[in-house]
Amino acid sequence: MITKVLKRLELGKETALLVIFAVLSTAKDLGGVFALAYATDQIIYGGSMQKGLMLMLSVMMAGVVIASFEKRTHSVFAVRARGILYSIFCKKLLSADFSPEDVSNHHEWANIYSGDIPQMIRWFEQTYTGIIKLVSYLVGALVYSMYQSWLLTIIVIPLVGVLVLGISRISNGFKVHIDKERRAADEATKHLDQIIDAPEYIKAYSLEMAMDNRMEKVLRERMRAEKRGNTLRGIIGGVSGIASFLPGVFAGIVGSFFLIEGKITVGFLIAFIQMVMGRFQYAFPQIGDYLADTQSMKVLCKRFEQFMSCPEESTVDMDSSELFFEEPMIQFKHVSFGYEPSQYVLRDVSFSLNKTENLAIVGESGCGKSTILKLIMGYYRNQDSYSGDIMILGKELRQWPIKELRKLIAPVFQTNTLFDMTPENNVRLAAPSWSQREIEQVLDSAGVSRRLIGKSTGERGKSVSGGERQRIAIARAMAKQADIYIFDEITSALDTMTEKQLSENLNHMTKGKTSIMVSHRLDTIIGADNILYLENGEIKEQGTHEELLQINGAYASLYHKQKGGEL
């Protein structure tokens, strides 16, 4: 998993430099030890003390230079890698075959960006190079010691090996615990996100205390998980600490006998102990940390790779010869659909819609109106959750490349997101080639107030009212000049006058095009060519306004009720 992520980075040079400097930095450390041994021997066995100290001093100075460039390499890697991971995440998010529902259902994706990626980079910067340093130090120290006294080395080093294995086993138990801590933290974050969404409501209902209590429960759980972890951390730290001294003591005891025999010098023994212990004193506890870090890195990389391996949107071009333009624009043939098996939201829905027709879907809340729209927009086309056929221009929906399908459709949702830019620029996104005049015209005809022109709509369109946001969204849909217009309860946030004005504009703009409108206000759909009345996911009645009134069924009674309420 980790190598996969590394490959994605394509930072060959930077990664190589990381490795090179990790090795150089080890060489610097070992150089210091050799110099110490040399200097000590010079003193004890009566050589030139000055020579030894000069050697140490120059090794040290070289070390300073190496260390600063090493740090530089790290920073370069971190900054570049983070930028790259951010970019490829963003690219994937935009290019993968996700439906808007997938994205809003996967809250953890945003966490990958804001939490996981920085943590992954930290692993490369600290743990990855740390491991290289540790390994190269061990190799270097081993070669030097074998050269000085192979017997001493082969007596002492196996013990070190045993200790390393022992510690790595302990830290494996740590992994389960990291998951637990993480889960508790995720749970807390999830709750926080919900609270952040609704300050007004919480205040109006004085829910502050209730929210405090909810959060306290979650946070206390999180603290408990942390505390269990702390105990484990303490124990691992203590054991590693003892382990880090034992090789030194062992080396000291065995080495003393070699010293008496005159097989080694005092300088080498001190250097040997320093290598085995001095460095290990810090390195050994680190092994536990490295392993734990690597475990969580694997989890992070897995999550990242899972995200990255989501299928891409097909870029296959449409073979228009497969289309049958004389076929109806949209045709549902016995379509049934359920979010969960056996729980149907739509049941055996069939209708057909020609190129110049307007379809209206009405029915009570939750009767499946919006689901029909989502099906047409291709939200569920990757799942086996619908049965029957949805034909668009004579071609089954599942066979349509999603991009081509989207080109065909201009939807306006109940709530639309605008981006933090002027209304003109929001519209221009849908029609990049349009002139400022054309854009202003379309804004005008959607009824967008001139007051707003040139002003930013604020973060997610928050600075303009719901009605204006809707009008801008409608202007954007007009600018797209698509074949199928989809309107999902678009006038629910508008006042009567604007609603009226808008629905006329809509009539005008959808003339000669296919349009589908979901509404619970019957005024707006009277002129539709075909009206579906849905009840519990089934089509109860179907026909024009007049036809349905003649049947005098559910639609007619709803209509009369609304009229009655109004007059």
Partner 1 sequence: MKKTTPLYLLTDTFFDKKARFITGIVFGATESVLNAVLSGQLYRILIRFGENGAKGLIIKDFGVFLVELLVVETFAAVGVRLSLNAVSESDFLLRKSVISTLLRIPLKQWNRHGKGYWVNLLNRDIEMISEGKKKQIVDLFKTIVTIIGGMVIVAINSKEMAVFSILGGVLYFGTALAMKSTVRRVEKEQQSVVIHATDAISSMIDGFGDIKFYDMEPHFSEEHQKVIEQYGAAGKRYINMSMIQTMLKDFGYSFCYVGLLMMALWLTGQGKLILSDAMYLWPIAMQVCYCIQKMGFLIINLQKYTIAAERVSDLLDTQQEGETVREHSGIHVYEQTECLSVKNLSFRYPDEDRYTLDHVDLNVCSGEKVVIVGLSGSGKSTLFKLLLRLYTPDSGAVILNGISADQYSLNDLRSHFSYLPQHPFLFEGTIRDNLAVVSPEAEDEEMNNALRKAHLLSLDGHRGNLLDNNVGRGGTLVSGGERQRIGLSRCFLRDAPIYLMDEMTSALDAKIETELVKELFEQPDLTILYITHRLNAAIYADTIVVFDNGRIVQKGTHEDLIMHEGLYRKLWEQREVGLKSEREDTNEGVNYHACS
The CB density around residue 393, as the number of other CB atoms within 10 Å, is 20
Q: What is the dihedral of CA 28, 29, 34, 40, to 10 degrees?
A: 120
Q: Given candidates 45, 150, 324, 339, which one binds partner 1 under the rule CB under 8 A? A: 339
Q: Give the DSSP H or E segment for 516.
A: strand 514-518
Q: Which of residues 342-371 bind partner 1 (CB under 8 A)?
A: 343-345, 363-368, 370
Q: Which of residues 9-68 bind partner 1 (CB under 8 A)?
A: 32, 36, 39, 43-44, 49, 53, 56-57, 60-61, 63-65, 67-68
**Is residue 481 involved in binding partner 1 (CB under 8 A)?**
no
Q: Which of residues 248-267 bind partner 1 (CB under 8 A)?
A: 248-249, 252-253, 255-256, 259-260, 266
Q: Given candidates 75, 172, 436, 552, which one binds partner 1 under the rule CB under 8 A? A: 75
- Judged by beta carbon, residue 3 or residue 342, the one nearer partner 1 is 342
For residue 305, the minimal CB distance to partner 1 (Å) is 18
**Is residue 201 involved in binding partner 1 (CB under 8 A)?**
yes
Handedness of CA 409, 413, 416, 421 (dihedral sign): positive
What does the per-residue mask of binding to partner 1 show for 454-473, with x meaning CB under 8 A? -----xx----xxxx----x
Rounded to 5, what percent of the chain is helix, strand, coil?
70, 10, 20
Question: DSSP per residue over 468-488, as a string?
Answer: HHHHHHHHHHHHH--SEEEEE
The CB density around residue 217, as the number of other CB atoms within 10 Å, is 12
Q: Which residues contact 436 (CB under 8 A, 6 or more apart)?
A: 424
Residue 272 half-sphere exposure toward CB, CA atoms < 13 A:
33
Distance CA(272)–CA(280), nearest Å, equals 11
Which span (137-145, 165-173, 201-209, 390-398) binds partner 1, by CB under 8 A? Answer: 201-209
Question: DSSP per residue over 369-422, as a string?
Answer: HHHHHHHHTTTTTTSTTEEEEEEETTEEGGGS-HHHHHHHEEEE-SS----SS-
- Judged by beta carbon, residue 351 or residue 413, the one nearer partner 1 is 413
**Is residue 183 involved in binding partner 1 (CB under 8 A)?**
no
For residue 287, the minimal CB distance to partner 1 (Å) is 16
Residue 264 forms beta bridges with which residues? none
Nearest CA to 361 out of 555, 495, 508 is that of 555
For residue 332, the minimal CB distance to partner 1 (Å) is 19
**Is residue 161 involved in binding partner 1 (CB under 8 A)?**
no
- Judged by beta carbon, residue 103 or residue 162, the one nearer partner 1 is 103
Q: Which of residues 88-147 bind partner 1 (CB under 8 A)?
A: 89-91, 93-95, 98, 100, 103-105, 107, 109-110, 113-115, 118
Residue 15 half-sphere exposure toward CB, CA atoms < 13 A:
14
- Judged by beta carbon, residue 281 or residue 295, the one nearer partner 1 is 281
- Judged by beta carbon, residue 352 or residue 445, the one nearer partner 1 is 445
**Is residue 196 involved in binding partner 1 (CB under 8 A)?**
yes
Q: Given candidates 48, 87, 350, 383, which one binds partner 1 under the rule CB under 8 A? A: 87
**Is residue 237 involved in binding partner 1 (CB under 8 A)?**
yes
Which span (144-152, 351-359, 389-397, 498-506) binds partner 1, by CB under 8 A? Answer: 498-506
For residue 109, the minimal CB distance to partner 1 (Å) is 7
Angle between helices 49-95 and 12-44 (to 10 degrees): 160
Residue 96 forms beta bridges with which residues? 312
For residue 163, the minimal CB distance to partner 1 (Å) is 14
The CB density around residue 224, as the number of other CB atoms within 10 Å, is 13
**Is residue 512 involved in binding partner 1 (CB under 8 A)?**
no
Q: Which residues contact 561 (CB under 8 A, 6 or more apart)?
A: none
CB 442 within 8 A of CB 406: no
**Is residue 419 involved in binding partner 1 (CB under 8 A)?**
yes
For residue 326, the minimal CB distance to partner 1 (Å) is 26
**Is residue 314 involved in binding partner 1 (CB under 8 A)?**
no
Which span (269-277, 297-305, 351-359, 389-397) binds partner 1, by CB under 8 A? Answer: 269-277
- Judged by beta carbon, residue 179 or residue 212, the one nearer partner 1 is 212
